[in-house]
Amino acid sequence: MPEASRQLVAQINLSALRQNLKRVRDYVSAAQIFAVVKADAYGHGLKRILPALDEVDGLALMELPAAIELREANYTRRILLLEGFFRVGELKEFSQYRIATVVHNHEQLQMLEKTKLEKPLEVFLSVNTGMNRLGIKPHETKAFCERLSALPAVAALRLMTHLARAETKEGSAEALARFESACAGLSYPRSIANSAGVLRFRTVGGDIVRPGLMIYGASPIIDRPARLFGLQPVMSLRSELIAVQDVPEGEYVGYGEVYRTTRPTRIGVVACGYADGYPITARPGTPVQVAGKRATIAGRVSMDMLTVDITDIPEAHPGSPVLLWGDGLPVDDVARWSGLIPYQLLCAIAPRVKFVTTEIGRVHFDL
Ligand SMILES: *Cc1c(COP(=O)(O)O)cnc(C)c1O
């Protein structure tokens, strides 16, 4: 392939990912860690980050084809599908590829009861403790356990719940109490914590944790910067200035009448727009780093470009490096200015963006 001439890259730092997984380990001491890698590892590229996941006990995701690809790439540790299976026919693949499943409703239980599998499955029984999305009712837990544990298709059973408000004591107390009473007397291993739950592991607890966002170095808690938890950004979205405009006072910049200069302003034009995954909702004032200094969005983000006020960065010129988010500019900040959450920005990187992978002491070649 010819070299991309547009200098927009998503740089993936595997050393940061390893560091973040160490932080998870610090929080959860001996609990097993299932790294959540749904949505192509939150937009980072599952295959790309796989080498940095060799210390975790397993991977959790939504997509069966991606799980099968992991096996075909010789991933040998455990794999959990968080929505489980949808049709009885899929169970053969779960068995063949040794994929653990969530069971969250009656229909799945009945399918398991009707099926014969070559190799039985590890099953995570999901209990609805207040998210009201997936999961059986707490009072059904015992009966489900009895039926599941009696099945030849079930090799091992775990109890699981997903917290809707894991980030605070007040938000999670009720759900934790419901889970506790649903599981009373049942000795199966438990899985409760997502990233926010990991950060509050002493309260949330469990035998198996399921961190997602935090392993990518973003904060699952609004207004608590990721660096507070010792997390480092894995993805840095980088580009460069492709033009500079000297704009007089009182002129509009970009489409519409979103932004008008209030002083003679130097506007830097960045090769990155909403067709690359940058949020169109980024308001004027959203931070962008230009030549290592903080600048701000000026004018509406367009399809291929965005404009920044670089009046106070006189050394900036076409070719100057630009950081949209990542190492030195938390994705959480860009999300907040855009009225979004960091999950959404990371997952939205468009196919036309080139990726490069870096890791201290190792060489990676990106396709
Ligand atoms: C996505 C997901 C997680 C990970 O959540 P984060 O907030 O990214 O840590 C954990 N458990 C389940 C069931 C999920 O769907």
Helix, strand, coil % in the chain, rounded to nearest 5: 30, 25, 45
- Residue 137: C-alpha distances to residues 128, 131, 221 (Å): 6, 11, 28
pLDDT digits (tens, 9 = 90+) for 202-212: 999 999 999 99
Alpha-carbon radius of gyration of the chain: 23
Ligand 1 atom having least distance to the Cα of 166: 7
* 216 catalytic per annotation: no
Three-state SS at 296? strand
Residue nearest to atom 6 of ligand 1 (CA): 212
Q: Residue written as tokens 């499955």?
A: 121
Residue nearest to atom 15 of ligand 1 (CA): 82
AA letter at 245: Q
Instruction: Give 324 Cα–ligand 1 centroid separation in angstroms.
Output: 25
Instruction: Give 36 Cα–ligand 1 centroid separation in angstroms.
Output: 6
Pair type for strands 190-191 and 154-160: parallel
Q: Is 211 in the pocket of ligand 1 (CB under 6 A)?
A: yes
pLDDT digits (tens, 9 = 90+) for 98-134: 999 999 999 999 999 999 999 999 999 999 999 999 9
Q: Is 41 in the pocket of ligand 1 (CB under 6 A)?
A: no
Per DSSP, 53 falls in state: G
* 38 catalytic per annotation: yes
Q: Is 135 in the pocket of ligand 1 (CB under 6 A)?
A: no
Q: Is 212 in the pocket of ligand 1 (CB under 6 A)?
A: yes
pLDDT digits (tens, 9 = 90+) for 304-360: 999 999 999 999 999 999 999 999 999 999 999 999 999 999 999 999 999 999 998
Catalytic residue from among 22, 119, 169, 255: 255
Q: Domain spanning 14-217 has what CATH number? A: 3.20.20.10
For the cut 90, the answer to whether the pLDDT of residue 2 exceeds it is no
Delimit the domains of the chain by residue range.
Answer: 14-217, 235-365
Catalytic residue from among 38, 75, 216, 259: 38
Q: Could you tell me the two tokens for 199? A: 């950060």
What mean pLDDT, rounded, does the chain reach? 96
Q: What is the pLDDT of residue 181?
A: 98
- Residue 123: C-alpha distances to residues 91, 104, 112, 156, 204 (Å): 12, 10, 10, 6, 21
181 within 8 A of 129, measured Cβ to Cβ: no
Q: Is 36 in the pocket of ligand 1 (CB under 6 A)?
A: yes
Pair type for strands 121-126 and 100-103: parallel
Could you tell me where the DSSP H helices lie in the chain? 14-28, 38-42, 46-49, 64-72, 91-96, 106-114, 141-149, 169-182, 195-199, 201-204, 331-337, 342-347
Q: Is 162 in the pocket of ligand 1 (CB under 6 A)?
A: yes
Domain 235-365: CATH superfamily is: Lyase, Ornithine Decarboxylase; Chain A, domain 1 (2.40.37.10)
